[in-house]
Structure 1
Amino acid sequence: GSASPALDSFDIVEAVDVLKKLPKGWCLEKVFSMEKWKEKQEHLQVLSGILDVARLAPNDGYAALVPPLQRLLKSECNIPVLTEVAKCAGLMAKGLRKDFERPARQLLPLALARIPDKSAWRPNVLIDRVEQMLWAIPFEFFLDELRPSLTNKSAFVKKEAITFLFRTLDLPGVQHNCP
């Protein structure tokens, strides 16, 4: 007989409205006025800590988090801070899936643009979190965004892009969206 599709626990877990768990007055933009990287990291950990659930309830509040995350993904040099930024983006994509498609389409190109940055393009910094974004976006969009890196003049960038592409083919998010 035909193999039945694997049960996706996302469909059976209850969605959680986590944004109301943020401390009163917490605002992502505050990170831009902080001088110490440790403060920035701790501020972002408040957000990543509440986002780490199996399924997030859709909420307009997530869209407001995207512009500061874009700015941080693009320009943040401190690796622990960048790691938290990517973690927040990845957790939202994984927890909201298709409800996070538009923001993920805005964030993915900025993350992929960091491939040449050897300190940032590592599994525990950006790679694992970019993989989580594939829960939220069509695989074709990911391929289109990755294509320039696949043909990049830099051997490092090309190797990383090809390796990353092959890794993504086995990801549950990709398997789920492209059976």
Structure 2
Amino acid sequence: MSAPAWVAVGASLVVVVWLGLALVGAVREIGTLRGRVDALEAAGAPTTQLETGLAVGAPAPAWTIATPGGGAASSSSFEGRRHLLVFADATCRACDDLVPAVIAAASRGTVPPLAVIGRGDAAATPGPWRAADVRVRIGSERGDEVSEAYGVDVSPSVFVIDEGGSVVARGGAVTLDDVLGLVREAEGVRIVAAGGA
């Protein structure tokens, strides 16, 4: 083999070793990041403050969602009652754990009645998200009309709506404890409409 061929082989070997080391470093970094995320989730990291969306005190927009059974559910079924709106996405890993837990809590009366507003085809609503309880409404929005009305761009997101139809707490939530924290935050909050007493 000639000298230029040995140089080419040597250079190729150096490049392959360098790429291998870079790949090992990248895999380690991904593992470190995954470990940090898992630790935050296990520690019950505080709720995420929503950067966008309706402010506390704002009137909650009316909404209608398609239910998995082909019907519709709307905000009118919660009129005059404190309730939760949980915005979730069937492709969101945190939603897979949170939605069944918050549905069970609503069924037990641990949290106020709630609506879970998903995205996409209502018939594709995951089985564990389906509830047969009068305190819970499950469905999917048409397009992004409800998410846009509430300014939601992160799932899961939770809004606490008071008896008068105003937002009294809001935030991102990963665990049932996060939701319970928002419910506690909203306790005793009363929004007085302009000109009201």
> Which structure has greater strand proportion?
2
Larger radius of gyration between Structure 1 and Structure 2: 2
Scaled by the length of structure 1, the TM-score of the pair is: 0.26
Q: Which structure has greater helix proportion?
A: 1
